[in-house]
Structure 1
Amino acid sequence: MKNRLILSFVLLLCILEAKATHIVGGQLFITENKNSSYNYKIGLTMYFDALNGNPGAEDDVAYIYVFRKRDNASVGYVSAPKIERKNVTYANPLCGISSTETIMISYASDVLLESTVFNDPGGYYMVWDRCCRNAAITNIKSPGSAGSLFYLEFPPIVKNNKVFSNSSPVFPAIQGDYACVNSPFYFNFGGTDADGDSLTYRLITPLQGYSTKDRPGIQAIGSSSYPTLTWIDGITNANIIPGSKPLTVDPKTGMLSVTPGNLGLYVFAVQIDEFRNGVKIGTLTRDFQLKVVDCPKMSAPKILFKQKGSSSFYNSNQIVTIKDGDPNCFEVMVTDPTINDLIKVQGHAINQTNDYFSLFPLEYKTTVANDTMRFQVCLDECFITYDNRPIRIELIAQDQSCPIPLMDTLVIYIRRESSGNNPPVVTTSLQTDYVHVVAGTAVSFTVFGKDSDSDTLSLSGAGENFTLSSKSMIFKTAGGKASVQSDFNWVPPCNALEGDTLKVDFIAEDLRCAGSGLKASKTIYFIVDQSPNHSPAITTSLVTSDVSYMLGSHGGITFQVKAIDPDTNTISLSASGRGFELKSVGISFENKTGIKQLISDFSWYPDCSLMNGDSSQLFTIDFTARDKSCTASLDTISVTISLRDLETESEIDLPNVITPNGDGKNDCLVFQELPAGTCNDQFKDVTIFNRWGKQIYFSKDKTKDWCPNDISGGYYYYVIKYTKRTYKGGLTVLK
């Protein structure tokens, strides 16, 4: 069922009236639901005595109540339906006893926890309060009337205005094992944390809560100190299960151990505290019961090894040396005093990634008392000691004792000489292992890995106390057979401090035997020097930075701009107009990027459209050379261009006689000699009339002259129009 956490309590009438007798144990949990609108799952895992419990007391719904830790104010409750019910298994299924059968029941609901509600820095806690426990419990008073309260603290879901994600620890299902009186027993109560938080464990007195025999399912109330169970006389937290070795819990792993001295049914609780970055952020209690019974005496197997030629059995203070050419296998013995007991052996290397050895046979059954099995330990080709450091192998013999298998462990230290597999070699294209670098200047070289045995190699790089990526170093891991190479590239960042020395190890690993540790490395030292940066310089091919240009002039405005930098830093050359875009006025200039020297051409052919009715206009262009070093510097030069309109001519000078006789002299009325005009007074057209006022010629093109070859001689009139002026006159055509 999915719901919001109910924020107002209701009276729970007519529910939970059946006594939940024989509650064996359990714990609460809260788990973040990633990428879900219901952002958390809240629930309960409960263990129930299947043989002696009241079936009617098995609830279909668990009511879990939530409180604010700061003031125990109620926040709401979750109605969690039953989602799973299954029998608890035994470590050894053959060891079940008729007096013990436990059921694990899980309740859970997806809920929406609002950040506006669950933001109190002090955090929150939830409880499940229910009666009653198993009446046969040995170590507490009035067990049949004792309630069970499961408790869990959790942090706010928002801290410092940021989402604070957290899930409570997850525990494997408890196994329904029993302990044997006067025999060692181990019980794993440890959990894992999805957020990577650290967990600590300690034994506490189980919580009783406020539920009673008459009111087994009450509406829970908030409290800073819930009632606890009452131990019988002589029992404390130091001997919850008494015996030659009372019950203890490993504070780091959660492993419980006990050698009980008396028969009975013992309840206990473990408090698990959750820490993140050294700060406690959560707590939960986990209850359970352990039955101690009288078992047939069982004896553990014994594993023994005697080196060839030795008269005594091996002990862990010795190192077994196997030379090249010696047999790859040696024999180990296992004895067991029990008849018809199944013995299994297993082994693994402790200080090596791969085992590189095998065992056979892996099991046998004893036929007589103190029967002996012999098995072979055979070393593979890759079981090699390359650095003279012995490899530790752990051999374990395990029987089928109840309630948990008994075992014996033997650790053997083995030094085996190399079988001829040579380590790889690492070299670089550098002339030295010490590289002086400056911020902003690129460094690159090639790293090589070679193997004389033509084995497959892996070539990688690692910084000393830093990752390559954190320093912007680029080196890709490469693989290959016999030889491999990869390029190293680095542009030291601007925050590289002068005087720093960075060490990078380049490692070639021989992969013939994975995890063998056969590798070679080469260290390169990068020494950061002071950056000798020079500012760039910028010049133009102009004689002066002030250019005067009259519109209508031929050739336009052209010159070159040059940027020079003696360093190897990247430089840029750019231009910008003051208050205008270069392209918008027709200026052509290419921005460039490069090193040492950059040259770019400036060209402009301005026209009257730029004058805006004025007789002159000023345009200033800034040219900038900028380097890309860490101490970024620049140089700027400015060019001011003055555009002027043509001067107005008040008169025109045309001949009053033309002689179109084909002699090439004075044959035409030449209009090209007319005034060029100005931006505000431009040529429009020319018209010629005969003496009777008839138009005989018209043109808007000043470049076309009038050559009257097809008309008769006589006197003619012309009218020449400009935007603001008109010129009139006459001429004689002689033929």
Structure 2
Amino acid sequence: MLRTTSQLTIYLAILFSFIPILVFSHHIAGADLSMQAVTTTNKNFRITLNIYIEDKNSPIAGANLEEIVVIFRKRDNAKMERFFLRRNQPPAFLIFQNPACADLNKLKIYHSIFYLDVFLDPNTYNDPDGYYIMFDRCCRSQELTNIDDPLNTSLAVMLEFPSVKDVKNSSPIFSELNGEFICKGEPFSANFIATDADGDRLTYSLVDPYKGFASFNTSPYYDETPRANRPGVNWLSGYDKNNSIPGTPPLTINSQTGEINVTATKTGLFVFAILCEEYRNGKRIGATRRDYILKVVDCSSSSLPKPVLNYNNAEIKNLTICTGSMANIETVDNVDWVFQWKKDNINIPNANTNQFTLTDGGKYTVVKSSKTSCVKEAISDPLMVTVTTNNIGVKIKPDNASACDGENNTLALVNSDQVVAWYENNVFLKEDKSITVNKSGQYEARIIGTILCPGISTSDKIDLTLFSKPTISTPQNSYLLCPGDVINLTTNNTASYTYQWYKDNIIIASANSNVYSTNETGNFTVKVKNQSCEIESQIFKVGTQSNCTNSADMLYIPNIFTPNNDGKNDTWEIKNIEKYPDCEVFIFNRWGENMFYSKGYLEQWNGMINGRRAPVDTYVFIIKMDAYNKPDIKGSFILVH
């Protein structure tokens, strides 16, 4: 926003003429910044500042119309630009769900939103280290319990963003705040989650609030000086960022969800700060801070009865509605009660009666408070609402089609992750998204609660039959072969079973009975199936007999060779083959193609095929011994370079 020097002087004079009123009558309770990409004419970003002001006695009309933010370059903290953000709508008071307690403890906070659409020139904002926006404003409440000299400690928040030229990015945006206070000794939680338009991963942590440099004793009442160091507040003894609100536990934040939790052990007004960092492809590209206060008060030990949520005069905890439909939920009313409905732990604006009409999915609760006395508020059990479309009902699918009796089989819903009620043979088991079973039976999933979709299936049944495990013989420790021998590997024979044999984890074609005959060494297994139930045997280890008769005439056939010209096992050498000059040696690849043939075996195979190296693979051989009235010798070997 461009201004002449005279215009700026007049503006500042007017602005500062009423700031002292703001400083002494109002105190800054919190603030945060965001920056969103926009496509308006000649603008590319909208900078937004949220300010939360404690308001005890002064009229809200005294709130400022403009606030100032300054952009600095990270690399050298050089000042880039100053912007005047405009408040374009009246401030709004935060909604306290327990107004009687809020009034008793003089809790009154209003929220002002300031923003400006700006143009950040990519040719100017192109530093790879990025930039940051500062808002530094006097003054904090002198009632703060956990920091030193709060009235002279201004509030400062920062937003970090990457090079505009290199990265298209919108910063995280913190969710709107509810009016909240903490009852001493009672568990407290609140949602400080942020959203990111680019889908970047967000993480949350508690950090030291900044100690700003603005002061009501000087003019102007904001700070825009480039600074290499941004110090944190001066904590009083016993306090720090991890103990900003003392408790058991003290104030903590969930690093993934942004939810804060505390069971406070001390009353007072406490300041804390949350850092939300954004990551893209594992790299940190930006961050924004929220600085805020929460008050811990002594609440009455008495409490109101817990509200019960009803639909059509019946209690309800789960509800499925169709897209575009609505449901009216209510709880018992009383003239002395006030209500605040919440969706996903966030106050719903203007939802302050005992009835609420919902149209969206989520977790709904209602908080009931007293209009006339400061007693503990009561919160309902959550109502889980799922939105679905017509013709999408409940359908069960098992995850393990080959499970045997006694083995786990998980049943879940197709295209749905909703919680349903599970039954076995019409006996209730549990409520969950899935269920794990290990025996046969009829299993049913039923939608919990009421469903408002016409024609949709509300339950599904599956008759699950888990067959008993097949009986498999236990192999002996080892099986030994002499050259020319054939050995039978055997497992139990049952007419209803099917079989498949494997050698070294490779399927053996047409080996589909309970017996497999082989003259090869190796590790053999068999998979046996009883209907849908399949198990695999232990290993049948077949080796070479060391004390075979006529050992001088035995053929020693390697099961692996490495033709890589290193002088070791470069040929497929068959010992004693020279004793059988009229034998015929055939070598085939896995597809049955002949790779090598020799009458006799005077020239050993060197792993070449038509002048090229044969690929790494398993090869099959046949040695025909017809000239010696001996059976053919068959087997396989592995070629490795």
TM-score by length of 2: 0.48
TM-score by length of 1: 0.43
Tell me: higher relative CO, structure 1 or 2? Use CA pairs within 8 A at least 6 residues apart.
2
Q: Which structure has the larger Rg?
A: 1
